[in-house]
Amino acid sequence: MKFDFKKLLLPFVVAVIACIAVFSGIKLHSVKRQAETAVSIIKADGEKYALDSIKQLIVVYNDYPEETSATLVALENNGISWSVKFGPLKAHIGRDGFASPGMKREGDEKTPTGLFALKRMFSYDPDVKTGLSFTQTTSADKWVDDPESDCYNEHVRGDTDARSFEKLLLGSDAYKYCVVIEYNTDPVVKGMGSAIFFHLGDGPTSGCVDINERMMKKILKWLSVDLNPHILMGSKTVLLTKAGN
C-alpha cells in the first residue's frame, strides 16, 4: 500500500535521507524531491503510521541491493529535531541482499525493504535492560515459517503442526538477543516472508539484520516502546537514486 503524502511528516523523511547521505558521502542536490521518492517506497506492514509519532529510528542501508554488508545508524527525535544516537555501525543483511520494495518472498534469503515497527524481543537471558516487550526464550519457543500453516510468521510456544519452523533457542548466541522486525505480521500474507529479526551475528543472514553483541546491548537499552521505535531498511540506490524516475 502507498502512503498518503498529506499524512506524512516530510521533515522526518528528509532527516532520514540526509543522515544516509551524510554517512555515505553523498551531496544532496534536491533533498525534498529525494525524500518524497523515498516515501513512495516505504511500506508500513498493513497500516499507515503517523511518522511524527516515531521518536526512535534505526536505519539500515547498503550501497547496492545485492550486497550483504550494511551500515546501521540509530536516530532519535527530541520533539524538535533528529540526531544520531549510535553509528554508523557495521551490520549484515540477507545473503542475497535487500529485496526490492514489496518483493520479499519466503526462502529468498533477502531482507525486506521498508519501514517496520520494533515492539518485542526474545532473549536467552532471564532479564534484559530494554524498553521493548520482553520474553525469555525456552526450548518450546518457535517461529513458524511454513506458508501453509495457520500460524505462518507467528510465535508459537509448544507443539505445532507446522511443517517447518525456526527454534528461537539455538545452540549459538545468534538469537541471544532477538528483536522482532514487524514485517508481514499484521496482517500476515502467506508466502511473503517470515522470521525477520534483528539479532546477533557477524555475517550474512537468511533475511534478518545482525550486529555485534556490544552494540546490540546499547541499542536495546535505548529502545522504548513508548517512543514508537521503527527500523527503515533498504539500499542506498533505492532510497536515494530513484529521484526523478
pLDDT tens readout for residues 47-82: 344 567 889 999 899 988 999 999 998 988 888 777
At 15 the pLDDT is: 61
- The domain spans of the chain are 5-239
Q: In this structure, are residues 223 and 129 in contact, taking their beta carbons and an 8 Å threshold?
A: no
Where the chain has pLDDT below 70, the residues are 1-51, 239-245
pLDDT in tens, 229-241: 999 899 887 766 5
At 82 the pLDDT is: 78
Please tell me the chain's helix, strand, coil percentages from 3-state DSSP, rounded to the nearest 5: 20, 30, 50
212-234 b/e with 16+ CB inside 10 Å = b?
eeebbeebbebbeeebbbbbbbb
pTM of the entire predicted model: 0.84
At 236 the pLDDT is: 83
